[in-house]
Amino acid sequence: MSFFFALVFLLSATSALGVVVSRRPLYAALSLVVNMLSLALLFLVLSAQFLAAAQVIVYAGAVMVLFVFVIALLNPTRQDSPVRDPRQIAAAVLVGSGLVVAAGVAFVGEGRSASFSLPDTLPGGVQLGSIQAMGSALYGDFTFPFEATALVLVVAAVGAVYLSRGR
């Protein structure tokens, strides 16, 4: 089980590097698709079944398709020249290593609690992450965020239509 986890982790780390490093934006987009699919596998390990399916359908299926379409529209073979300014590179390396150190401190300081071995059922008998749990949470405790998200989506759609009107 943990071998599977290590494999998926390597896949997602490699594809994340692929997104950042690839010269052509199309390769970066494909790498991001691989990353999102590997994250969906990790979501399954974390017993978030509904979110794994939602990730595949929404993110890898719709958002990345949109990305690929826009890249194909905007000159896909264009090579991207990396930044030359050494101060910017130094700042990026500093930020990156600072974030990695912060993650390491958080990981080590928290202690390896064995909470993953607890059963993944919520009180009431439903399984954590199943459709039943998600539905009762969304329509029960989190009704307001749910409706607010619908409003956000409508606003985004209107904004996109307005921006693409072409003057």
Partner 1 sequence: MLFATGAVGVLLRRNPLVVFMCIELMLNAGNLALLTFSRVHRNMEGQVFALIVIAVAASEVVVGLALMVAVYKSGRPMDIDEMSEMRG
Contacts of partner 1 in 109-128 (CB under 8 A): 113, 115-116, 118, 120, 122, 128
> To which residue do tokens 């390396």 refer?
93
The b/e string for 23-41 (b: 16+ C-beta within 10 A; e otherwise) is eebbebbbbbbbbbbbbbb
CB of 3 to partner 1, least distance (A): 19
CB of 136 to partner 1, least distance (A): 8
CB 36 within 8 A of CB 64: yes
Residue ranges in 61-120 that form contacts with partner 1 under rule CB under 8 A: 62-63, 66-67, 70-71, 73-75, 78, 80-83, 88-89, 91-93, 95-97, 99-100, 103, 113, 115-116, 118, 120
DSSP character at residue 47 = T
Residue ranges in 130-159 that form contacts with partner 1 under rule CB under 8 A: 133-134, 137-138, 141-142, 145-146, 149, 152-153, 155-157, 159
Q: Taking each helix axis as running N to C, give the angle between helix 25-45 and helix 2-21, from 0 to 180 degrees, rounded to the nearest 10.
A: 160
